[in-house]
A and B are shown apart, each in its own frame.
Chain A
Amino acid sequence: MREKRINGKNPQTFSISGEELDDAVSRAKKGSVQAFQKLYEHYGRKILNYIYRMTGSREEAEDLTQDTFILAYTNLSSLKENIKFQSWLFRIAQNNVYQKYRGKRPPMDSIQQEETPELSDVQKLATPQISPEDRVLSKELEQVIEQVISQLPDKYKEVFVLSAIHKLSYKEISEIVGRSLASVKSDIHRARVEVRDKIKTYLGENYGMSNLF
């Protein structure tokens, strides 16, 4: 069966052990800025990327990430189980995003401003000029995937980003979004199929070709 974590590009690569997390959160609760900095170094990138996928704006994502961590620090005493810090932090980030836009769909500025490549451009990616050893997606294909994700309905997008980009378990996602495990499982499946179908439409016959990455 396939390994879930394929490469080191996604933001889940900075891991922290349960004991380290418990220790850092306990010290941060007592006011240690150093311990909180450790938490920021471990989770900052995840939160930044989560907010970026939800808002589509890098600047907005950076501001909201800062707000999220400041809010987390000031409310750390309300966190009962230190081990659930990650879910708790994502929930703060999610609330920040929704409060910012108050039910409105966030403008997907930076992602949509990028010009979507024509199908013919994408098809060119399948040419033998791209070395199979080069395991990095082409810029055009990246943009297509980014756009497909950004166009998902909010309900699917939040669970998709948490699962596909941040590799959170369904249980954690269920806690963050406040929906049942069955609902989360079903939404992730639908989002995955929708993303797959759209990418497949863009790539056409090139879908499944190993020389795309």
Chain B
Amino acid sequence: MECQTCSESLTAVMDRELNGDQEKELKTHLSQCSQCDQEYQSLLYSYELIDRIPVLELNPTSWGKIRAEIINLPTQDWGWIFGLRFFSPIRWIPVTAGALGLVFLSLFFLNQSDAEKERSFHTFLQVREQMELQHVNVFDESWGGVMEPLHPNPFALHDHTTQGNPFTLE
């Protein structure tokens, strides 16, 4: 192992990030190279100093504040419904409102009484009859009259016969 490689691996070996073989190779090099061993001891000393710096302790009131926040969340303790909480975001509000609107409209029409339905049906029949009468032209007084089609041919003659082909030579 070269000194450069050894030097770059010193922190890794102290952090236990080398595998067995790599560690063994590095140890062998350290035992043979006083310069690398000196560097290793120097870094080791800084590790020991840093390991002794104090740490902050948690404020005893912190958990109370966190608890107060999380128990007020709408999805708290809902059991199996907890998994459906993605429905709660505000983006679902318009979709929910639309769906509810459709349900209400359906209920309104389905809940009509029979009398109302019958009245609506009669009104529909009357309107349709009037519309049909407007398009019927009876030539004979007898029942076998000719019904004018709803969309008459605009190129037809008055006696309802079709014109000859206008593009043929006489």
* Interfacial residues, chain A to chain B (CB-CB below 8 A): 1-2, 4-7, 9-11, 29-31, 33, 36-37, 40-41, 44-45, 48-49, 52, 58, 61-62, 65-66, 69-70, 73-74, 77, 135-137, 141-142, 145-146, 149, 163-165, 169-170, 185-186, 188-189, 192-193, 195-196, 199-200, 207-208, 212-213
Contacts and interface: CB of A to CB of B under 8 A. Distances in A.
Interface of B: 8, 10-17, 23, 27, 41-59, 62-63, 65-67, 69-71, 73, 75-79, 82-83, 85
8 contacts: A2-B47, A29-B82, A37-B67, A45-B55, A70-B66, A135-B52, A189-B8, A193-B11
Contacts of A137: 49, 52-54
Contact of A10 (B12, B55, B57): B55
Nearest to A46: B55
A165 B41 CA distance: 20
The 7 nearest A-B residue pairs measured at CB: A196-B46, A6-B51, A189-B11, A192-B11, A137-B52, A31-B77, A73-B70
Contacts of B47: 2, 6, 164, 192
Contact of A33 (B11, B43, B75, B76): B76
B63 to A, nearest CB: 6
Given A7-B51, A31-B76, A193-B11, 6 more contacts: A1-B27, A29-B82, A31-B77, A33-B77, A192-B47, A196-B43
B83 A58 contact: no
* Interface of A (DSSP majority class): helix
B55 A30 contact: no
B51 A145 contact: no
Given A31-B78, A185-B12, A188-B11, A164 B63 contact: no
A145 B53 contact: yes
Given A30-B82, A74-B73, A145-B53, A192 B66 contact: no
